[in-house]
């Protein structure tokens, strides 16, 4: 049961990671980050069956932080969108030497 | 115990004069700079004489007069004091270095001055002759826009020269030594807008630096030996510490000799002095004839114990002296510039002084230094008066002839009688005509050389015989070139041109009065040190000449240690010369010979026709070599200056700009290039960063796992 859970979590994490690396749409990238977080959450839950309640508790923290992060992140995306009128990250390269 | 009267004021008065005149010079310079900036030309004398150009007339000679009077008071005091030890006045601790924990060495140099018989004689010469030359300068330089600056430098020179002779230790003396070099540089290049004059000043300074290095090394060596560098300490222990003729004392004195050849213009470092004639003529008289250039002689006389302990160095001092005396005299034979002849004559006479102190006759060296200061200052000032007059005459009709070339002069005695007579008195003094000053001083040096050659245990006796004969030969050359100078300048037909001759005139009173005083000193100055042998012969009027060997006994406290060393190691000096004959016979011979040379020269030149400079042909044969000064300047240029310049250029263009700068630039450029490469990674693309982050995490993880 644990192995299957970890495989699923791993797959979701890899999908999330590839999404962040490959996609250009900043909203999709944002969603992929959520995927990664949730893959980790799944792992925590899976392990908590054998290790103890701490994993479950940690998941709550992650969800709470992720919610805050989503709020801040979306706000940033909206303000960037207002400026550039696009959500393609190729255009967001001001932080270059 | 004798108490000196305000000795520090003697030094400080000229310094005060420098400060006042310097401030006036700065204000004058600002006024003229403002005018030039406003687009105009500035004429200082447009509305009469401004304060900046009238005050120095009183301040400049005034402070020197004050210093002279104070020196005179102290001199008279010392005359009655019977002083055996120098009087030392210590003011503050100048250099103080605590004990070195390893060697236990320490160094304490006080800012102290020393008054003794030797420094007193030097101070009398410096302030006395200096005063006369300051007065002369008032007439000579009055119409120069740089008048206040001139007196500022001249006062500063007197200050440093007094520091040189009054210092109670070698470092203090070194301050004066360097200071007079600085003033010499400033005054040679006084008319600095003429590049040739500016570079003449540079040449003097650079050549002197070579000698100064020797001075420093000698001080360092003395410190190593004694742990102290004041005169009292060094001379007091010298006889106990040094072995007669030992290697250390020989090295020390050789370094001092290098220093002395630089400052006193001896072979091989004499080349700066003829060029130093670019300065105003009173400067040539004061610095480059009477005082500064004799500093080397003073150095040797002051360190007489050290030199007496080093017979090899002494023989070299004498050798360099006599060679310089002869060599410079040959060059003087064929020079046409009146100041150049006098410059080479100065070098030649300095050679005699070196011969004197080299053969251990320190008194004779100082004696000749003193008489030379009188007659050579007079000759230079007379030449200055002549040039002044020539310059005015040529300027009046706008003729572009050289005012210093003797071929353009002739017959000036009709126009300038005071100058003519006084310069003749100086001439007979320098060529050694009895009973003028130069006869007694030069004869004593030449005789002491002969006496040294025949001393009981003299080292290098044969060498001293050669020196003696060369010194006699150089004296004959002196008679020739001085007679030639006087004839070309004052006698025969006037060659300046009939229109110009109307404007030739005697110098103003401030100029000829110093000439007359110096002339009196040139006539009688030699009587203060007539040796007993001469005095009792016909040359002393069978005991009629007053004073006897006054200078000798006066300087005895200073030189007695040296004389003790000589007596122990050399034994009795000879009473007859190597060719037979005693002192007065040879004095008579050289007097008659010099007189004969002068008269023959005058007769010979009187018959020949002199052509003016512009029409004169280049000399040929041997005369050409002499005219070109034995090509020594060219030789130095080829073998010293050029190699140094080439090496410097190599060090600059290759070692400095290529190798050293190259290395530094390489480090800088390498860092920048590396930064550029690394900055390429920073694309600004979030995806790339995410990718790199992932790869990095994977790498770290794989390192942990595997």
Buried b / exposed e along B314-326 (16+ C-beta atoms within 10 A): bbbbbbbbbbbbb
CB contact under 8 A, A20 and B682: no
Cα gap A18→A20, rounded to integer Å? 5
Which range among A41-55, B176-190, B532-546, B562-576 shows the weakest confidence by mean pLDDT? B532-546
What pLDDT, on the 0 to 100 scale, is given for residue B539? 78
What pLDDT, on the 0 to 100 scale, is given for residue B686? 84
**3-state DSSP assignment of residue B280:** coil
Q: How many angstroms separate the first and last alpha carbons of chain B? A: 100
Which range among B41-55, B217-231, B549-563 shows the weakest confidence by mean pLDDT? B41-55
- Span B593-597, mean pLDDT? 94
Cα gap B270→B321, rounded to integer Å? 11
A14 interfacial to chain B (CB closer than 8 Å): no
Q: Where are the domains of chain A?
A: 2-89
- Residue B93 CA, chain-centre distance (Å), reads 30
- Span A11-15, mean pLDDT? 95
B681 interfacial to chain A (CB closer than 8 Å): no
Residue B530 phi/psi, 5-degree rounding, is -90, 120
Which range among A57-66, B303-312, B533-542, B687-696 shows the weakest confidence by mean pLDDT? B533-542
DSSP collapsed to 3 states, chain A: CHHHHHHHHHHHHHHHHHHHHHCCEHHHHHHHHHHHHHHHHHHHHHHHHHHCCHHHHHHHHHHHHHHHHHHHHHHHHHHHHHHHCCCEHHHCCCCCC
Q: Binning pLDDT at 50, 70 and 90, where does residue B191 land?
A: very high
> Average pLDDT over chain B, rounded to whole?
90
Residue B669, pLDDT > 80, answer: yes
Q: How many CA atoms lie within 13 A of B532 on its CB side?
A: 3
CA distance, residue B670 to nearest chain A CA (Å): 19
> Average pLDDT over chain A, rounded to whole?
91
Residues facing residue B549 across a β-bridge:
B529
- A17 → closest Cβ in B682, B686, B694: B694
Sign of CA dihedral B642, B647, B648, B649: positive
A93 interfacial to chain B (CB closer than 8 Å): yes
- Span B618-634, mean pLDDT? 87
CB contact under 8 A, A97 and B694: no
Contact B351, B485 (CB under 8 A): no
Contact B172, B229 (CB under 8 A): no
Q: Binning pLDDT at 50, 70 and 90, where does residue B369 land?
A: very high
Cα gap B156→B185, rounded to integer Å? 12
Closest Cα partner for B118 from B561, B532, B447?
Answer: B561
Contact B153, B187 (CB under 8 A): yes
CB contact under 8 A, B691 and A21: yes
> Which residues of B are less than 8 Å from A90 in CB distance?
685
Buried b / exposed e along B128-146 (16+ C-beta atoms within 10 A): bbbbbbbbbbbbbbbebbb
Buried b / exposed e along B178-209 (16+ C-beta atoms within 10 A): bbbbebbbbbbbbeeeeeebbbbbebbbebbe
In the 8-state DSSP scheme, what is residue B167?
Answer: B
What residue has token string 């300047």? B633
Residue B469, pLDDT > 80, answer: yes
Cα gap B509→B438, rounded to integer Å? 27
List, for residues B514-563, the tens digit of each pLDDT value. 999 999 999 998 899 888 888 888 777 777 777 788 998 899 999 999 99
Provide ipTM, 2 decimals: 0.88
Does an H or E element contain B658, and which?
none
DSSP B189-230: TSSTTSHHHHHHHHHHHHHHHHHHHHHHHHHHHHHHHHS--B
What pLDDT, on the 0 to 100 scale, is given for residue B501? 81
CA distance, residue B676 to nearest chain A CA (Å): 10
Sign of CA dihedral A71, A73, A79, A82: negative
Residue B41 phi/psi, 5-degree rounding, is -100, 150
How many helices (H) and strands (E) are present in chain B, helices listed first?
A: 28, 2
- Residue B155 CA, chain-centre distance (Å), reads 16
Cα gap B332→B325, rounded to integer Å? 11
Contact B74, B5 (CB under 8 A): yes
**Crossing angle of the two packed helices B51-79 and B7-37, in degrees rounded to 10:** 170
- Span B323-348, mean pLDDT? 94
CB contact under 8 A, B684 and A90: no
In the 8-state DSSP scheme, what is residue B128?
Answer: H
Does an H or E element contain B87, and which?
strand B87-97
Q: pLDDT > 70: what percent of chain B?
A: 100
Sign of CA dihedral B251, B257, B263, B266: negative
- Span B633-649, mean pLDDT? 93
Q: Quick one: CATH architecture of A2-89?
A: Orthogonal Bundle (1.10)
- B683 → closest Cβ in A20, A22, A96: A96
Q: Binning pLDDT at 50, 70 and 90, where does residue A97 land?
A: low
- Span B602-607, mean pLDDT? 90
pTM for this prediction: 0.84
DSSP B354-383: HHHHHTT-HHHHHHHHHHHHHHHHHHHHHH
Cα gap B518→B370, rounded to integer Å? 12
CA distance, residue A95 to nearest chain B CA (Å): 5
> Which residues of B are less than 8 Å from A94 in CB distance?
684
What pLDDT, on the 0 to 100 scale, is given for residue B115? 92
Contact B297, B350 (CB under 8 A): yes
Cα gap B349→A69, rounded to integer Å? 101
Cα radius of gyration rounded to whole Å, chain A: 16
Residue A6, pLDDT > 60, answer: yes
- B682 → closest Cβ in A22, A29, A96: A96
Q: How many angstroms separate the first and last alpha carbons of chain A? A: 49
What pLDDT, on the 0 to 100 scale, is given for residue B541? 72
Q: Does B411 or B302 have the greater pLDDT score?
A: B302
List, for residues B244-270, the tens digit of each pLDDT value. 988 999 999 999 999 999 999 998 899
**3-state DSSP assignment of residue B111:** strand
What pLDDT, on the 0 to 100 scale, is given for residue B547? 79
> Which residues of A are less than 8 Å from B695 in CB distance?
none
């Amino acid at each position: 049961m644990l192995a299957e859970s970890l495989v699923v979590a791993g797959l979701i994490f890899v999908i999330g990671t590839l999404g962040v690396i490959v996609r250009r749409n900043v909203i999709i990238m944002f969603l992929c980050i959520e995927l990664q977080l949730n893959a980790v959450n799944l792992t925590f839950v899976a392990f908590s069956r054998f290790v103890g309640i701490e994993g479950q508790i940690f998941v709550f923290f992650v969800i709470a932080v992720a919610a805050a992060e989503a709020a801040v992140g979306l706000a940033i995306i909206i303000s960037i969108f207002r400026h550039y009128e696009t959500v393609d990250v190729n255009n967001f390269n001001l932080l270059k030497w | 115990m004798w108490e000196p009267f305000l000795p520090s004021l003697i030094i400080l008065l000229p310094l005060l004069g420098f400060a006042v005149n310097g401030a006036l010079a700065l204000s004058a310079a600002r006024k003229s700079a403002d005018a030039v900036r406003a687009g105009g030309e500035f004429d200082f004398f447009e509305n009469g004489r401004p304060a900046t150009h009238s005050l120095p007339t009183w301040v400049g000679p005034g402070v020197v007069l004050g210093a002279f009077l104070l020196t005179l008071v102290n001199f008279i005091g010392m005359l009655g004091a019977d002083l055996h030890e120098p009087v030392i006045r210590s003011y503050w601790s100048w250099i103080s270095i605590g004990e070195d924990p390893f060697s236990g060495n320490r160094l304490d140099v006080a800012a102290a001055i020393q008054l003794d018989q030797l420094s007193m004689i030097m101070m009398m010469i410096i302030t006395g002759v200096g005063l006369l030359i300051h007065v002369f300068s008032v007439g000579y330089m009055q119409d120069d826009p740089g008048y206040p600056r001139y007196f500022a430098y001249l006062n500063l020179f007197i200050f440093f020269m007094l520091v040189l002779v009054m210092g109670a230790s070698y470092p203090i003396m070194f301050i004066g030594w360097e200071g007079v070099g600085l003033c010499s540089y400033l005054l040679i290049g006084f008319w600095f807008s003429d590049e040739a004059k500016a570079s003449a000043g540079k040449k003097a300074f650079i050549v002197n630096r070579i000698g100064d290095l020797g001075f420093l090394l000698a001080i360092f060596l003395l410190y190593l030996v004694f742990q102290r560098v004041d005169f009292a300490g060094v001379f007091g222990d010298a006889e106990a510490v040094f072995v007669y003729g030992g290697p250390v004392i020989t090295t020390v004195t050789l370094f001092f000799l290098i220093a002395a050849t630089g400052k006193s213009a001896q072979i091989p470092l004499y080349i700066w002095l003829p060029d130093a004639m670019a300065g105003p003529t009173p400067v040539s008289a004061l610095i480059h004839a009477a005082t500064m250039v004799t500093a080397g002689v003073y150095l040797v006389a002051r360190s007489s114990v050290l030199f007496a302990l080093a017979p090899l160095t002494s023989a070299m001092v004498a050798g360099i002296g006599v060679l310089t005396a002869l060599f410079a005299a040959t060059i003087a034979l064929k020079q046409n510039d009146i100041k150049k002849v006098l410059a080479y004559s100065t070098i030649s006479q300095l050679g005699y002084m070196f011969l004197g102190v080299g053969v251990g006759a320190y008194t004779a060296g100082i004696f000749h230094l003193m008489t030379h200061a009188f007659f050579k200052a007079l000759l230079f000032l007379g030449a200055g008066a002549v040039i002044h007059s020539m310059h005015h005459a040529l300027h009046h009709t706008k003729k572009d002839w050289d005012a210093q070339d003797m071929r353009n002069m002739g017959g000036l005695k009709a126009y300038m009688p005071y100058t003519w007579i006084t310069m003749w008195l100086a001439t007979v003094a320098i060529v050694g005509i009895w009973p003028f000053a130069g006869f007694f001083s030069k004869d004593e040096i030449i005789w002491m050389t002969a006496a040294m050659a025949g001393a009981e245990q003299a080292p290098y006796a044969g060498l001293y015989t050669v020196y003696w004969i060369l010194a006699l030969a150089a004296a004959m050359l002196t008679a020739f070139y001085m007679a030639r100078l006087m004839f070309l300048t004052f006698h025969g037909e006037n060659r300046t041109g009939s229109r110009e001759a109307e404007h030739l005139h005697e110098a103003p009173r401030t100029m000829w009065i110093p000439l007359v005083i110096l002339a009196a000193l040139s006539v009688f100055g030699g009587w203060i040190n007539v040796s007993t042998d001469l005095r009792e012969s016909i040359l002393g009027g069978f005991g009629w000449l007053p004073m006897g060997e006054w200078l000798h006994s006066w300087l005895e406290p200073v030189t007695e240690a040296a004389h003790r060393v000589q007596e122990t190691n050399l034994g009795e000096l000879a009473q007859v010369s190597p060719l037979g004959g005693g002192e007065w016979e040879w004095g008579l011979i050289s007097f008659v010979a010099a007189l004969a040379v002068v008269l023959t020269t005058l007769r010979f030149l009187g018959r020949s026709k002199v052509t003016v400079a512009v029409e004169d042909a280049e000399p040929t044969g041997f005369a050409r070599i002499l005219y070109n000064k034995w090509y020594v300047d060219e030789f130095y240029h080829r073998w010293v200056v050029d190699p140094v310049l080439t090496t410097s250029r190599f060090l600059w263009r290759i070692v400095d700009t290529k190798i050293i700068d190259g290395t530094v630039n390489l480090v800088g450029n390498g860092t920048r290039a590396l930064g550029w490469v690394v900055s390429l990674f920073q694309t600004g693309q979030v995806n790339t960063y995410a990718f790199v982050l992932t790869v990095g995490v994977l790498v770290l993880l794989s390192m942990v796992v595997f």
